[in-house]
Amino acid sequence: MKSIKFIFPLLLTTVIALGQNSKGIVLDKGIFETFTPSHHLLNLGVNLEAAGEHSPFEISTGVKNVLNTTYIDHLSRLKSINILNQGINFYIGLKVKINKELRG
C-alpha cells in the first residue's frame, strides 16, 4: 500500500492598482479612456494537494476581495455605466488528474 502525500500551501495575494489618468502625455491612450481611481485587493486561499498512485487530486478554497473593496477595473467594459466589480466572494474548487493512456 502506497501512501498519499498532502501539501497545504496557504495563498495570500494582494492586487494594487494605481490610479489611471488620461492627463498629460500618454502615447497609447485610447479615445474613450477615462480616469480610474486606485484600489487595493486582498485575496486569501488554501490548496490541498493529494498525490496518490492512481488519481491525484487538488482541492482549493478561498476568499477574494477580503476587505470588500469597491472598485472598477480600468479596462472594464461596464465602467461607463458605473457597474462595480464583485465585492467579497468565496470559491471552492476540485481538480482531478486522470492518467489514462489512449491506445491507437
Closest CA to 61 of 97, 8, 16, 14: 8
Let me know: does 46 contact 9? Beta carbons within 8 Å.
Answer: yes
> What is the percent of the chain with per-residue pLDDT over 90, rounded to a whole number?
25
**What local confidence, expressed as pLDDT, does residue 100 receive?**
67
* CA–CA distance, 45 with 11 (Å, rounded to integer): 5
pTM as predicted: 0.67
Report the pLDDT value the prediction gives residue 102, as an integer from 0 to 100: 62
Which pLDDT tens digit goes with each residue over 11-35? 788 888 877 765 555 555 666 677 7
Q: 57 versus 31: which is more confidently predicted?
A: 57
